[in-house]
Each structure stands twice: as structure tokens, then as C-alpha cells.
């Protein structure tokens, strides 16, 4: 097996991004073709690598500081990586093709595809990296390309601000991540994953160190996977084009956090305290996001909060020490969430970029294919059998039931809420009568957009079944799950859906008006604004004080006054003032007596 | 000489010396200086230097100070008005003077011989004869030169105070 | 018992007062008077030492007293000339303030 083939997976999108940026920005069709070709090459190679289980990739040494710090450039090709590579490049390919339709009238189509290719390069880099430093570099690159893509329509203030918010918030998490990486390197002497795992045993004598390191590494995931309290960037990131929301903020980038946690499970699972904290943060995120989603009115925001909620589930699974359950949910979630976003994008574009659900309605008749695929995705999301979401969510619920009862009930409550807000969305957008002219005059999307939808809906349907998923993942052990778990899950599902249908059937406006707290997203943004304002205010005041009193008055003023004083003294020699001369004379005499008598 | 008298005349000298510097009226300053000289003459006498003491009174208090007072009257110098004091210059000046005084005091302290009493003198010391003999024998040349100096000074004074012919 | 040190101290104090007067007073006449004070302080010091150094025949060392004689003479001459200059200055400038005589610049 050619050991450079894995490198082609990684580098093809990079080459595409370089060519588009440097040469073909003017020709939009050419740029988009290059980008699509590159991602298809990556996908093909990924499939080839996937089928050859013993493939290895060539490794190069990048940094080597006399053995103390070695960073190779290498790719890891275990089952986890291979699955992720196929997932990322596959969904990426679907989204590239979909973007052709969604962005057909856009001015910045070339730079969109260049950024998209660069993103593919970075994301594939994360899943293929075999050491922490490489992972971190690609991690940061993913953050950057996300910034570029969210701010694609940069002339809109909301989009530019959202891009900044995303980058800065994830950066905060990355800071903790970096410190964690450094601490780990310091403790184990290496940054390569396979070398570090066996050396963790020596650290077992320092539980506090392990906890701190695990939590710091988790910080990176908190930022990148938008967990509480760094979740505030994801809903605002919906300002970007919908295919981007689908790719980056549903299927891949946000999943990178979970992937990273699974990759370094040997670090995280070494500390029980860390695991507990991680599980609770995941749970809190899941519940909080689900609550907020019930009161949102923008179709993409609802889906964004649902992503937050499902990511919370995945992190919860990591915290409950089952990487397998987390990866399974990540896998199924990628399909149905991408599907939902693309379907939502289809609706949006056909309604001329209208995103308020209260201006939609009755679209089941106008956009039938979109409707059917959306229903598939919705049913998968709420965990309705036999769709994929049922299996993966069930695995997590079973895990919680076994290991941590409070978390189980909260997870169940979240499942109820999920059913509620998803069915709410479905009913308001697709059923009833159209609420605006735009809705009345809409028609189905072109093939270039509906075909990816259909492909993804098939995957969303099949993805949960063992015969399919077993090829990709180590499935959570299919042992005796107490029948009560899926039973309770289905009950929650039915209750939630029923409530939603009852409340939102045939409505023209939002009936539940009193839940201000939820509608305003628990006032997180306002709280952070206040915090940042006061921190900056404090810093500004301290700086102003230092500037005015220490620098201006002290250093500058002091030296000027000192010079003035010395000048005044020296002036005495010059001015013809007799008594000045006498004074200096006296000084001289005193000095001479001092040196003659007292020394 | 009894210590009481010494300290009396010493403080007299010093106080009137300070009065010279502090007074605003030049006439008062001059008269204070006269008093200071008298005190000084008393101190000379206490040191058994009778000739020098008399010379001090005759020449200094008698001639020099009279000259000062003549000039003050001639120029009709008034008392100075109160003026804004330049505190910085005053502080600087006083500091230097004080440091000088401190240095002198410390040096005197360190001087071993200064603690001894004065050795006794022979019963009769003929001051005038002895000084005169020393002056005209050993210091004859300087004496003559000083004579010429005084002559030159006289001529100079006459020249300097000549009014320009109108 | 009065010692040599006491006389020297008095001399030192007089000298400092005179020096302060030269530095701080603006009126030229007062400056000249302070100058005289300084000279007299030196005289006192000389006479004290003269009395202190007694030779074998019981007489003080008159050299210092001769020195004092010369100092008094020269001081008298100097005062005369100084005052003459002062008079000439006053006639020219109508002022005895030392701040107004600042032509002796660097």
C-alpha cells in the first residue's frame, strides 16, 4: 500500500485552496470545480484507505531538539481515524455539491470555495494527526477557517461580529488546551499519542495533576464543541451561509472537540473527578440548550441550539467513560444534523433568504422532497426508532442509567424537550397554511440541492443499524440494556411531540409569551458583555492611572523637572550673579574640607 | 580669665556679628559691627595680646568703621524695604554656611591640642616691645611693602572717588 | 577653664556668619561688612594659637600676632579701596544692589 496515499487525502484540499486563492479567484465556476474535485479525490482516497485495514502513512520529522522535544509529521490510521476521514470527506463532498446550488448567485463564490477547501484540509488534519502539536496546529487552523467562513458576508455587521465572537471564544478554550498539552508533554516527555499512552501510568501517583491536565485538555473541547460556558458563539455563527452551518457547525468542526476527547481518552479517563465534571458540563449544556431552543423563532437558531444540545449528549457520554457511545452519537448526528441544515437551507433559499419560522407554513405541499428529508432528519434527531438517532441516543441514556442517576433523568428530560422543539419546528414550518407571500410562492429546490439531501437521509435512516455501523465504529457493547431505558425514551418522545402538536397546530404567532428567560438565551450574552466591559474598564483605569501618574508625572515629568533643576543649578555659574558665584565657591570649599579632613 | 567673662564677650561678639547680617538698616549693621569688634578686642585682651587688642580698637573700630559710616551717610543709604525672599537661594546659602560650621566644629573636636589649657606665661610680657622687635627685625621687608601698599591704596581711593569733570 | 578649642569655635562661628552674610545679603555695604567679620574671625584664631604656643622663655609666639598686625593693615586698605569703588559704582548706577551688577558673566 502506497504510504503516501494518506497524505493525498490531507493535501488535495490544500492544493485546491492554494490554486484558487492564488490563481483562479476571478473565474467562479473554475474555482468551484477545483474545490469539488479536490474533495472528491480526498473522499475516494479515504474510501481506499478505509478498505485497507493495514495501511500506514509515511512519517517525517519536523522538529527535533536533541531528543528532548520531538514533533513528527505523521498520520494515524487506526479505525477511529479512518472512520472520521470517510465521514468528514464524505459529508464535505455532499456539502460542496450542495453549495453549488446554494451559492450560485453569490459574489464571493471563489473565496467561499477556497476557504471551504482550506477548512477540509484543516479538519482532515485534525482527524489524521498523530501527535498533539500537529493536532493543535490544525485545531487553530480550523478555528481560523471557521472565522473566514462565518464572516463570508463580512459587509454585514452581524456576520463580522459573529465571526469575531466565534474565534475569540474558541481561543479562550484553546488557551487552556495549550497549557494542558504543555503539561502533558512535561509529564510524559513526548507529544505523540501512541508514545504517551503507556507513560500515563507513572502519573497515577499524582491525582491532582491528572485532574488538572484532563480538565485543561477538556477546555479545548469546551471551546471548540461549544459547551457551557463557552457555548455563546455557536448560535451567532448561524450568520454564515447555511452549507457552512451544516458542515462546520453540525457535522465536523464541533465534533472535533468530541473526537479529540476520544483520541486522548487515556488522559481523561485517568481522573474520576475530571470525568464527573465533564459529564456534568455536557448535561448542563444539553438541558440548557434544549430549553432555549423551545423559544427561538429562527429556523437556523433552533437547529444550532439543537446541535449544542446533542454535543452536550456526546460530552456527557465521554464523561461517563464511554468513548464508543460518544463516537456512535457523533457518527449518527453528523448525518442527520447535516441533513437538517441542508434541508433548512433549501427552505431558506427557496423563500429568498427568509429565516423566520413564523413567516413560513404549509411548505409540505410546496417543497415536498425537502419536506420528506427534513422529516427523516427530525425523526432521527428526536430518537424515533428505527432511525439512527434512536440507537445512539439510547446507548447514551443506557449509560447514564447505569452510572449516574441524576444525569439520566436530566438526559431524559432533554429528550422530551428535544422532541418538543423539533416537532414544534416541523409543525410551524411545514404544516398549516402559509403565513406570508414568500411562502405561498415557493417551489422545490433544484436537483443539485435535493440529491445530497436524499443521500444524507438514507444515511440517517440506516446509520444506526449494527450491520452498517459496525464497519465503522466499535459499537457500544450490545449487552442487556434494561428495557426500561428505551421505553422511557419513547414515552418522553411521544409526550413531547404530542405537546408540541397540541400547542402549535394552526397558529399564526407564538402562543407562549412568558418565557423571557429562555427567549433571551438565559441572558448569557448580556452577562458576558457586562463581564468584558468591567474587565476592560478596570484595565483601562489602571492603565490610565499608570500612564498619568507614573509615566507622565513620574518618568517624563520627573526627568524634565530633574533636568530643569540641574539646569537651574548650573545656570548659577553663568549669569553674572555674584552671590551665585559665592555660593558655588562655598560649595567648593566645603567639598575640599571634606576631602582633606574627613577622608 | 574666668570662663564667665570669656563666654560673655564671646556671645557678645557672635550676637552682634549675627546682627550685622540680619539688620536691614545699614547704620544699625555698622554699629553692630563696632560692638562686635569691641567684643573681639576684649577676647584679644583675654588672650594676653594687649597690643593687638588696642590696635583692633584703634584701627578697626576707630578708623574702618568710621569710614563705613561715612560712606553710608554719603550715599544716604536707606533701610532696605521688605522684599520677597527667594527661599530656595536662602535655603541653599544657609545650608552651605551650616555645613561649613559643622565641619569646623568637628575638626576642632578632633584636634587633640584644643582640649589643653593654655600654658602659663612669664610674669612680664612686654607686648609692644616684643612685637616691635619681631616686626622690625624679621619682618622688615613685609612691613615696608605694606607701607607702600597703604600708599597705593590712598592714591587709588583718591582716584576712584574723583568726580568726572562736567 | 577656657581652652583653645573654645576660642577656635567662636572663631568658626563668626566665620560662618560672615560667609552667610556674603552669600545672602543684597546690599553691597553689608557684604563688605560681612567680609570684615570673616577677616576678624581669622584674626581671633591666629591670636589664640599665638597664646597657645608658649616658648621656653615663657613668651607667646609673637609671629602670629605680627601676622594679625599685617592682616589688620591690609584689611583697612582693602576696605578703603572697596568703599571707593562702591562710591564710584553708586554714582554710576544709583544702586547698591548686588543683583544689578551682573556684567561679570562667563
Over residues A33-69, the pLDDT tens digits come to 899 999 999 999 888 888 877 667 777 777 777 666 7
Q: Crossing angle for the helix pair A28-51 and A109-128, nearest 10 degrees?
A: 20
DSSP string over A124-162 = HHHHHB-BHHHHHHHHHHHHHHHHHHHGGGTTSHHHHHH
Q: What is the pLDDT of residue B139?
A: 93
Task: Decide: helix, strand or coil at residue A75.
Answer: strand
Is the pLDDT higher at A447 or at A223? A223
Angstrom distances, CA of residue A564 to CA of A231, A553, A567, A568: 58, 14, 5, 6
Q: Crossing angle for the helix pair B3-22 and C4-24, nearest 10 degrees?
A: 10
Residues of A whose CB is below 8 A from C22: 579, 582
C4-100: CATH topology is Helix Hairpins (1.10.287)
Handedness of CA C39, C43, C45, C46 (dihedral sign): positive
C54 pairs with which residues across the strands?
A: C60
In whole angstroms, give the CA distance from residue A388 to residue A569.
90
Angstrom distances, CA of residue A264 to CA of A198, A227, A473, B84: 12, 18, 17, 83
Q: What is the pLDDT of residue A570?
A: 81
Contacts 24+ apart (CB under 8 A), A463-471: A463/A331, A463/A332, A463/A335, A463/A336, A463/A388, A464/A332, A464/A380, A464/A386, A464/A387, A464/A388, A464/A389, A464/A390, A464/A391, A464/A392, A465/A386, A465/A388, A465/A391, A469/A328, A469/A331, A469/A332, A469/A391
Give the confidence band of A242 by pLDDT, cuts at 50, 70, 90: confident
Kindly report the nearest CA distance between residue A564 and chain C, in angstroms: 20
In whole angstroms, give the CA distance from residue C96 to residue C31.
10
CB contact under 8 A, C30 and B21: yes
Handedness of CA A330, A336, A339, A345 (dihedral sign): negative
What's the helix, strand, coil split of chain B in %, to 5? 75, 0, 25
Q: What mean pLDDT do residues A243-264 have? A: 83
Residues in contact with B87: Cβ distance below 8 Å, sequence separation at least 6, in sequence order: none
Q: What is the pLDDT of residue B21?
A: 93
CB contact under 8 A, A583 and B93: yes
Task: Decide: helix, strand or coil at residue A356.
Answer: strand
In whole angstroms, give the CA distance from residue A593 to residue A599.
9
Nearest to A589 among B92, B100, B110 (CB): B100
Residues of B whose CB is below 8 A from A579: 89, 93
Kindly report the nearest CA distance between residue A590 and chain B, in angstroms: 6
Nearest to B17 by CA among C37, C31, C76: C37
In whole angstroms, give the CA distance from residue A376 to residue A284.
27
DSSP string over A264-282 = THHHHTT-HHHHHHHHHHH
Residue of A nearest to B108 (CA): A597
Residue of C nearest to B65 (CA): C33
User: Residue B92 pLDDT more than 60?
Assistant: yes
In whole angstroms, give the CA distance from residue B86 to residue C24.
10
- The greatest distance separating any two alpha carbons of chain A, rounded to the nearest whole angstrom, comes to 113
Positions of chain C with pLDDT under 50: none
| CATH architecture, domain B3-125 | Up-down Bundle (1.20)
Give A546's DSSP letter.
I
Q: Crossing angle for the helix pair C62-93 and B65-75, nearest 10 degrees?
A: 10
Q: Are residues B93 and A587 in contact, defined by beta-carbon separation less than 8 angstroms?
A: no
Residues of B whose CB is below 8 A from C6: 6, 10
E strand or H helix at A65, and its extent? Answer: strand A60-65
In whole angstroms, give the CA distance from residue A95 to residue A91.
6
Task: Decide: helix, strand or coil at residue A8.
Answer: helix
Neighbours of A302 (CB within 10 A): 26
pLDDT in tens, B6-63: 999 999 999 999 999 998 899 999 999 999 999 999 999 999 899 999 999 999 999 9
pLDDT in tens, A294-306: 888 888 889 989 9
Q: What mean pLDDT do residues A175-187 have? A: 89
Which of A591, A592, A593, A599 best probes binding to B when mutated, by most B CB atoms within 10 angstroms?
A: A593
Percent of chain A with pLDDT over 70: 95
User: Residue A477 pLDDT more than 80?
Assistant: no
A·C CB contacts under 8 A: 27
A154 touching chain B per CB within 8 A: no
Kindly report the nearest CA distance between residue A595 and chain C, in angstroms: 19
Find the Cα–Cα–Cα–Cα dihedral A32, A34, A35, A37, rounded to 10°. 120
Q: C-alpha angle B59/B40/B14, rounded to 5°?
A: 130
Chain A neighbors (3+ CB pairs < 8 Å): B, C
Arithmetic mean of pLDDT over chain A? 84
Which phi and psi (to 5°) does residue A131 adopt? -145, 165
Residues of C whose CB is below 8 A from A577: 99, 102
In whole angstroms, give the CA distance from residue A230 to residue A308.
11
Q: C-alpha angle B74/B80/B86, rounded to 5°?
A: 140
Angstrom distances, CA of residue B98 to CA of A577, A586, C16: 22, 11, 7
CB contact under 8 A, B114 and C58: no
In whole angstroms, give the CA distance from residue B56 to residue A316.
111
Q: What mean pLDDT do residues A463-485 have? A: 67
DSSP string over A449-503 = HHHHHHHHHHHHHHTTSHHHHTTTS-PPP-----THHHHHHHHHHHHHHHHHHHH
Is the pLDDT higher at A417 or at B122? A417
pLDDT in tens, B96-109: 999 999 999 999 98
**Cα within 13 Å of Cα(B15), Cβ side:** 7
User: Residue A486 pLDDT more than 90?
Assistant: no
Of the listed ranges A88-102, A188-202, B135-149, the one predicted with least confidence: A188-202
Nearest to B86 by CA among C25, A588, C20: C25
The ipTM value here is: 0.91
Kindly report the nearest CA distance between residue B147 and chain C, in angstroms: 9
Chain A: residues touching C (Cβ < 8 Å): 573-579, 582-583, 586
Peptide bond into A114 cis (omega under 30): no
B·C CB contacts under 8 A: 231
A·B CB contacts under 8 A: 26
Grid cell for residue B163: 568726580
pLDDT in tens, A288-336: 999 888 888 888 889 989 998 999 999 998 888 888 888 888 888 888 8
Q: What is the pLDDT of residue A434?
A: 79
Q: Crossing angle for the helix pair A323-350 and A79-102, nearest 10 degrees?
A: 10
In whole angstroms, give the CA distance from residue A383 to residue A486.
10
Percent of chain A with pLDDT over 90: 14
Angstrom distances, CA of residue A33 to CA of A45, A97, C105: 18, 10, 89
Place of cell 578697626: B60
A386 pairs with which residues across the strands?
A: none
Which phi and psi (to 5°) does residue A432 adopt? 75, -155
In whole angstroms, give the CA distance from residue A52 to residue A50.
6
Residues of C whose CB is below 8 A from B26: 27, 29-30
In whole angstroms, give the CA distance from residue B45 to residue C48.
11
Angstrom distances, CA of residue A316 to CA of A80, A416, A506: 19, 17, 37
CB contact under 8 A, B55 and C69: yes
Place of cell 544709583: C94
Q: Crossing angle for the helix pair A388-403 and A447-462, nearest 10 degrees?
A: 40
Distance of CA A192 to the CA centre of its chain: 24
Residues of B whose CB is below 8 A from A586: 93, 96-97, 100
Grid cell for residue A428: 410551524
pLDDT in tens, A447-460: 777 888 888 888 88
In whole angstroms, give the CA distance from residue A529 to residue A526.
5
In whole angstroms, give the CA distance from residue A79 to residue A57.
14
Angstrom distances, CA of residue A22 to CA of A17, A102, A557, A590, B149: 8, 24, 53, 79, 102
A69 pairs with which residues across the strands?
A: A65
User: Residue B117 pLDDT more than 60?
Assistant: yes
User: Residue A475 pLDDT more than 70?
Assistant: no
Amino acid at each position: 500500500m502506497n504510504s503516501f496515499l494518506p497524505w493525498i487525502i490531507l493535501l488535495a484540499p490544500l492544493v485546491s485552496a492554494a490554486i484558487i486563492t492564488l490563481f483562479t479567484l476571478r473565474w467562479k465556476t473554475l474555482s468551484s470545480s477545483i474545490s469539488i474535485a479536490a474533495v472528491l479525490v480526498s473522499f475516494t482516497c479515504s474510501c481506499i484507505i478505509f478498505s485497507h485495514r493495514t495501511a500506514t502513512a509515511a512519517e517525517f520529522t519536523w522538529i527535533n531538539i536533541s531528543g528532548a522535544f520531538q514533533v513528527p509529521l505523521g498520520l494515524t490510521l487506526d479505525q477511529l481515524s479512518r472512520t472520521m476521514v470517510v465521514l468528514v470527506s464524505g459529508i464535505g463532498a455532499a456539502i460542496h455539491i450542495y453549495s453549488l446550488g446554494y451559492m450560485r448567485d453569490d459574489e464571493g463564490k471563489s473565496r467561499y470555495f477556497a476557504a471551504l477547501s482550506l477548512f477540509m484540509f484543516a479538519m482532515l488534519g485534525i482527524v489524521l494527526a498523530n501527535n498533539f502539536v500537529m493536532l493543535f496546529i490544525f485545531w487553530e487552523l480550523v478555528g481560523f477557517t471557521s472565522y473566514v467562513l462565518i464572516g463570508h458576508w463580512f459587509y454585514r455587521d452581524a456576520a463580522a461580529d459573529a465571526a469575531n465572537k466565534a474565534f475569540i471564544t474558541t481561543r479562550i478554550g484553546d488557551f487552556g488546551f495549550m497549557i494542558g498539552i504543555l503539561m502533558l508533554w512535561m509529564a510524559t516527555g513526548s507529544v505523540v499519542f501512541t508514545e504517551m499512552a503507556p507513560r500515563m501510568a507513572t502519573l497515577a501517583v499524582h491525582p491532582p495533576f491528572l485532574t488538572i491536565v484532563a480538565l485543561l485538555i477538556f477546555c479545548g473541547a469546551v471551546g471548540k464543541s461549544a459547551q457551557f460556558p463557552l457555548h455563546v458563539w455557536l448560535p451567532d455563527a448561524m450568520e454564515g451561509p447555511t452549507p457552512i452551518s451544516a458542515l462546520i457547525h453540525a457535522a465536523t468542526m464541533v465534533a472535533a472537540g468530541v473526537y479529540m476527547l476520544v483520541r486522548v481518552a487515556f488522559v481523561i479517563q485517568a481522573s474520576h473527578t475530571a470525568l464527573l465534571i465533564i459529564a456534568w458540563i455536557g448535561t448542563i449544556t444539553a438541558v440548557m440548550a434544549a430549553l432555549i431552543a423551545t423559544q427561538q423563532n429562527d429556523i437556523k437558531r433552533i437547529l444550532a441550539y439543537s446541535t449544542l444540545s446533542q454535543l452536550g449528549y456526546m460530552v456527557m457520554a465521554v464523561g461517563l467513560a464511554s468513548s464508543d457511545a460518544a463516537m456512535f452519537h457523533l457518527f449518527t448526528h453528523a448525518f442527520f444534523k447535516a441533513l437538517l441544515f441542508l434541508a433548512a437551507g433549501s427552505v431558506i433559499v427557496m423563500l429568498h433568504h427568509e429565516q423566520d419560522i413564523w413567516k413560513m407554513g404549509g411548505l409540505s405541499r410546496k417543497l415536498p422532497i425537502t419536506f420528506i428529508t427534513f422529516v427523516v432528519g427530525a425523526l432521527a434527531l428526536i430518537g424515533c426508532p428505527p432511525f439512527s438517532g434512536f440507537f445512539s441516543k439510547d446507548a447514551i441514556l443506557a449509560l447514564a442509567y447505569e452510572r449516574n442517576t441524576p444525569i439520566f433523568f436530566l438526559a431524559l428530560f432533554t429528550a422530551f424537550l428535544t422532541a418538543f422543539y423539533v416537532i414544534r419546528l416541523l409543525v410551524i414550518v411545514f404544516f398549516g397554511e402559509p403565513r406570508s407571500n414568500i411562502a405561498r410562492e415557493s417551489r422545490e429546490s433544484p436537483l443539485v440541492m435535493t440529491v445530497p439531501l436524499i443521500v444524507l437521509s438514507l444515511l440517517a435512516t440506516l446509520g444506526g443499524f449494527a450491520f452498517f455501523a459496525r464497519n465503522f465504529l466499535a459499537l457500544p457493547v450490545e449487552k442487556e440494556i434494561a428495557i426500561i431505558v428505551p421505553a422511557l425514551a419513547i414515552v418522553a418522545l411521544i409526550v413531547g411531540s404530542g405537546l408540541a402538536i397540541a400547542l402549535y397546530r394552526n397558529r399564526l404567532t407564538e402562543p407562549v409569551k412568558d418565557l423571557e428567560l429562555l427567549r433571551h438565551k438565559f441572558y448569557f450574552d448580556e452577562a458576558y458583555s457586562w463581564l468584558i466591559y468591567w474587565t476592560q474598564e478596570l484595565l483601562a483605569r489602571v492603565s490610565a492611572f499608570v500612564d498619568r501618574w507614573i509615566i507622565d508625572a513620574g518618568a517624563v515629568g520627573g526627568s524634565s523637572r530633574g533636568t530643569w533643576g540641574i539646569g537651574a543649578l548650573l545656570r548659577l555659574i553663568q549669569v553674572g550673579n555674584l552671590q551665585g558665584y559665592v555660593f558655588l565657591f562655598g560649595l567648593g570649599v566645603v567639598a575640599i574640607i571634606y576631602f582633606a579632613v574627613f577622608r | 580669665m574666668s570662663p564667665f567673662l570669656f563666654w560673655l564677650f564671646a556671645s557678645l561678639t557672635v550676637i552682634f556679628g549675627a546682627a550685622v547680617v540680619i539688620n536691614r538698616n545699614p547704620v544699625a549693621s555698622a554699629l553692630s559691627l563696632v560692638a562686635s569688634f569691641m567684643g573681639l578686642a576684649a577676647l584679644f585682651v583675654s588672650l594676653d595680646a594687649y597690643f593687638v587688642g588696642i590696635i583692633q580698637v584703634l584701627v578697626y573700630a576707630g578708623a574702618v568703621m568710621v569710614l563705613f559710616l561715612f560712606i553710608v551717610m554719603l550715599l544716604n543709604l536707606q533701610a532696605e524695604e521688605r522684599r520677597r525672599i527667594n527661599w530656595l537661594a536662602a535655603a541653599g546659602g544657609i545650608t552651605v554656611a551650616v555645613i561649613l560650621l559643622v565641619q569646623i566644629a568637628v575638626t576642632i573636636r578632633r584636634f587633640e591640642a584644643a582640649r589643653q589649657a593654655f600654658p602659663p606665661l612669664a610674669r612680664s610680657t612686654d607686648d609692644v616691645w616684643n612685637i616691635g622687635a619681631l616686626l622690625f627685625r624679621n619682618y622688615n621687608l613685609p612691613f615696608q611693602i605694606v607701607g607702600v601698599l597703604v600708599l597705593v591704596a590712598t592714591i587709588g581711593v583718591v582716584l576712584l572717588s574723583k568726580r568726572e569733570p562736567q | 577653664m577656657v581652652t583653645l578649642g573654645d576660642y577656635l569655635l567662636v572663631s568658626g562661628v563668626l566665620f560662618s556668619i560672615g560667609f552667610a552674610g556674603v552669600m545672602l545679603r543684597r546690599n553691597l555695604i553689608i557684604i563688605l561688612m560681612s567680609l570684615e567679620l570673616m577677616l576678624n574671625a581669622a584674626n581671633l584664631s591666629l591670636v589664640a594659637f599665638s597664646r597657645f604656643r608658649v616658648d621656653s622663655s615663657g613668651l607667646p609666639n609673637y609671629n602670629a600676632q605680627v601676622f594679625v598686625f599685617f592682616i589688620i593693615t591690609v584689611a583697612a586698605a582693602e576696605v578703603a579701596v572697596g568703599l571707593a569703588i562702591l562710591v564710584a559704582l553708586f554714582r554710576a548706577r544709583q544702586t547698591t544692589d548686588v543683583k544689578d551688577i551682573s556684567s561679570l558673566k562667563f
